[in-house]
Amino acid sequence: MSDNTPLKRSLSLPQMVLYGLGTTVGAGIYALVGELAGISGYLAPIAFLFAAFLAGLTAFSFAELSCRYPRAAGAALYTQNGFHSHRLTVTIGLLVVVAGLVSSAALISAFSGYLNQITPLDTSTSIILLCAFLTAVASYGITESIILASLITVVEVGGLVWIIYISHGALTELPGLVDLMIPELNSTSFNLVFAGALLAFYAFIGFEDMVDVAEEVKDVQRTLPLAILLTLGITTLLYMSIMVIALLSIPPQELAKSDAPLATLFSFHTGQSPHVISLIGMFAIINGALIQIIMASRVLYGLSCRHQLPALLSYVQPQTKTPIVATFLVGLNVTILALIGNLSSLAELTSFIMLIVFSVVNLALWRIKKLEPKVENCLCFPRWMALMAFLVSSGFVILEISKALF
């Protein structure tokens, strides 16, 4: 089936930054603060900074590649240009899709649990209705989808900023604790920072989803790389600020005991019930699910456009300018996975899959830059950065395999 209707280029820089923050700053940060405090103690902010550096290496690769190849399918397209292997390209593309499907299904399952507590709906009904709603939004139009995602992102990021604001009085404790937050030049400090960075690294994953809507971005070769870098910078600033204020307010050993550390922080400074923080966390969950559905459908569309998947998946509905068949297929599979349940172990595989993808993409860029070091009007980083990014991401893959085996 052939179709010449293009996707609609309507996304601006602010919308792309909000899209990036929506997929990066998820509900996980509302629990991660406590876990990180338990691992790194007062060195947790430095662990976040180190994790930002490690994740940033791969973010720089995606930023450059999105400028070199501003098309849908993202990682799969970059793999094709780096290795010229049809099989590897399709494998990477499908891995990205699977990661998106599992992630979205896990988020919807989590959200339905909250929903069941405040509505008479049973779990299966709430899952079906949620999936149908999100699929309909994603199908209706990219502008409408991103507006909804952006509004929810404003709420969830606003929640973090609100917590920072109401807790800013804790900064008076900084002079007395600042020495504890500066690592000493010894193996103990390094181990604490590194162990925390391994956990915090996953809080920065999300920028890779941004490249999959490349064909719907205005002035894509300027807008998309800049949006990726701004997303990384804003995320780092938010995480560092939250972590510092949390440690200045509550000792790390107490913070680590809390299942909802930001809710605990809110109650500590306001004396009020943290229900509003829990509600914001629910918004973050549903936002992540919507963005994953959009991302996965664009990867299928991009692979289909290059004749690597059935042509039907590249059909673009003329009125909505969205890949309607790919979107409905993704929505259907997310619904099935969410209904099956028991997704916790599968959800853990999502990050592992993306680390494999990161490794391949970074190595692809390193190979591409050997033949074409620079491209006119494109953001280009030194070639060694791509190699370092490959070593970091593949190192994480090896660590994850080691943990599974031993």
pLDDT of residue 366: 97
Which residues, 6 or more positions from 127, have their beta carbon under 8 angstroms from its beta carbon? 108, 109, 112, 335, 338, 339
**CA–CA distances in Å: residue 204 to residues 32, 177, 189, 235:** 12, 26, 22, 7
Long-range contacts of 161-168 (CB under 8 A, 24+ apart): 161/238, 163/242, 163/245, 163/262, 163/265, 163/266, 163/277, 164/238, 164/241, 164/242, 164/245, 166/266, 166/269, 166/270, 167/245, 167/246, 167/249, 167/265, 167/268, 167/269, 168/245
**Sequence-ordered list of residues with C-beta below 8 angstroms from that of 378, at least 6 positions apart, any chain:** 64, 67, 68, 221
pLDDT of residue 27: 62
- Residue 173 has a pLDDT of 87
| β-pair partners for 322 | 317
pTM comes to 0.85
Is residue 80 a contact partner of residue 306, using CB atoms and an 8 Å limit?
A: yes
Q: Is the dihedral of CA 36, 39, 43, 48 positive or negative?
A: negative
pLDDT along the chain (406 residues), means of 10: 69 91 77 85 92 92 93 88 93 92 85 71 88 93 86 88 90 88 88 87 84 89 94 92 92 85 86 81 83 91 90 91 94 92 65 89 96 87 95 90 79
The class of domain 13-405 in CATH terms is mainly alpha
The rounded distance, in Å, linking the Cα atoms of 69 and 364 is 13
Quick one: pLDDT at residue 2? 45
> Strand pairing partners for 197?
none
Q: Where are the domains of the chain?
A: 13-405
pLDDT at 1: 47
> Which tokens in the block code for residue 131?
């999936």
Smallest CA-to-CA distance from 246 within 229, 271, 275, 269 is with: 269
How far apart CA 292 and CA 305 sit, in angstroms, is 20
Taking a C-beta distance cutoff of 8 angstroms, is the pair 302, 74 a contact?
Answer: yes
> How high is the pLDDT of residue 230?
95
d(CA 59, CA 246): 27
